[in-house]
């Protein structure tokens, strides 16, 4: 079997983008979480190379709209040229949400050097007790925006950590994104590895490349796609990577996204569960439609290397 390899960097059929994950080390005194200043220090170093810089989940916490806007302005002032920064934060500025629950949200925002966020996403699957007590789940679905990187336009979407545990997270997309920005924050290396497996499964199903940036203690960060995956970093320590993607990019959805798990279950049923009806169909109609469906399903699974990682328990 041929090895699973990344796309070539220098090829007429590919383009490249430089991505980075900002993971500051722990504060000097060893207590608390990295500050806005810490993340900005890492970002200023990374932007000399990276087009897209991703911060982990819940990197910051905002208690008011003014606090959030002030932080965004500070980040934007430090950006040079066409750079994008993806920020994970807890938004407790509930006055403008109007849901009356008195809770905040786990949010991802993608910004550039001017203007409002280009992309926002609210985490839908909250960690029981640890998050659900103080946060409200979002009710929006991922959507795609086009980022101008060099001479190319790149379709990008985002999701947050535990949302990758759902096989339906991206089935609502009308087209296929080239990249999925994925901030995460796990609390144990075992959970970090389990969520990394979820990211790999979603990458295979969508046909996209997931940029996974885990800011948790012992968190696993890396690049995952349907044909290749690589753990770049375990624990704190910023990193950057040049990634190739097909160009011109084919935005048609994968077979899995077109029908989700239902389509895959139908294929398995068609292959294994038709019994006498299958024999009758093959005999009467040469079974051409059934065989075509079965072959397509097998090829999709084989090509995308979809593993049933989502069925593994998050904790052993």
Please indicate, yes or no, if residue 251 is contained in any of the structural domains: no
> In this structure, are 188 and 270 located in the same domain?
no
> In this structure, are 34 and 182 located in the same domain?
yes
> Minimal CA–CA distance to 234: which of 181, 182, 193?
193
pLDDT tens, residue by residue, 172-222: 999 999 999 999 999 899 999 999 999 999 999 999 999 999 999 889 999
Report the domain count for the chain.
2
pLDDT of 1 above 60: no
Beta strand 119-122 with 105-111 is antiparallel
Q: Is the Cβ–Cβ distance between 128 and 143 less than 8 Å? A: no
> In this structure, are 124 and 39 located in the same domain?
yes
CATH number at residue 202: 3.60.110.10
Please indicate, yes or no, if residue 222 is contained in any of the structural domains: yes
* Reported confidence tier of residue 130, pLDDT bands at 50, 70, 90: confident
pLDDT tens, residue by residue, 212-247: 999 998 899 999 998 889 999 999 999 999 999 999
Of 246, 278, 300, the residue at which a domain comes to its end is 246
> In this structure, are 270 and 148 located in the same domain?
no
Q: How far apart are CA 21 and CA 59, in angstroms?
A: 12
> In this structure, are 214 and 268 located in the same domain?
no
Please indicate, yes or no, if residue 1 is contained in any of the structural domains: no
> In this structure, are 84 and 146 located in the same domain?
yes
Please indicate, yes or no, if residue 22 is contained in any of the structural domains: yes
> In this structure, are 218 and 264 located in the same domain?
no
pLDDT tens, residue by residue, 245-273: 999 999 999 887 876 555 554 544 444 44
- How buried is residue 202: exposed, middle or buried, by Cβ count under 10 Å (0-12/13-18/19+)? buried
pTM value? 0.81
Cα angle, residue 194 at apex, residues 32 and 1 outer, rounded to 5°: 135
DSSP of 81-145: SS-EEEEEEEE--GGGT--SS--BEEEEEEE-SSSS-SEEEE--SPPTTTTTTTB---------E
> In this structure, are 49 and 136 located in the same domain?
yes
Length of the chain: 316
Q: Which residue range(s) make up the domain with 89?
A: 14-246
Of 200, 217, 246, the residue at which a domain comes to its end is 246
Please indicate, yes or no, if residue 316 is contained in any of the structural domains: no
Cα angle, residue 19 at apex, residues 15 and 20 outer, rounded to 5°: 165
């Amino acid at each position: 079997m041929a090895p699973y390899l990344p796309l070539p960097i220098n090829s007429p059929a590919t383009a490249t983008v430089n991505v980075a994950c900002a993971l500051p080390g722990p504060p000097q005194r060893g207590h608390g979480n990295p500050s806005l200043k810490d993340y900005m220090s890492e970002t200023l170093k990374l932007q000399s190379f990276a087009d897209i810089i991703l911060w982990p989940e819940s990197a910051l916490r905002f208690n008011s709209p003014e606090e959030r806007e002030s932080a965004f302005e500070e980040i934007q002032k430090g950006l040079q040229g066409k750079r994008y920064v993806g920020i994970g934060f807890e938004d407790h500025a509930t006055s403008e949400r109007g849901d009356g629950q008195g809770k905040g949200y786990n949010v991802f925002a993608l910004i550039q050097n001017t203007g409002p966020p280009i992309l926002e996403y609210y985490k839908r699957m909250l960690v029981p007790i640890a998050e659900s007590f103080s946060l409200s789940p979002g009710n929006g679905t991922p959507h795609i925006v086009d980022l101008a990187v060099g001479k190319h336009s790149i379709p990008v979407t985002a999701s947050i950590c535990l949302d990758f545990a759902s096989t339906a997270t991206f089935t609502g997309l009308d087209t296929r994104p080239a990249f999925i920005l994925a901030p995460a924050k796990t609390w144990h290396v075992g959970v970090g590895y389990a969520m990394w497996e979820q990211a790999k499964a979603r990458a295979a199903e969508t046909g996209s490349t997931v940029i996974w940036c885990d800011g948790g203690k012992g968190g696993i960060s890396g690049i995952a796609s349907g044909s290749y995956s690589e753990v770049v970093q375990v624990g704190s320590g910023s990193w950057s990577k040049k990634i190739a993607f097909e160009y011109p990019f084919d935005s048609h959805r994968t077979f899995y996204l077109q029908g989700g798990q239902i389509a895959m279950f139908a294929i398995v049923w068609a292959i294994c569960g038709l019994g006498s009806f299958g024999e009758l169909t093959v005999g009467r109609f040469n079974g051409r439609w059934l065989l075509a469906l079965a072959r397509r399903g097998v090829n999709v699974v084989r090509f995308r290397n979809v593993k049933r990682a989502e069925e593994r328990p998050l904790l052993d």
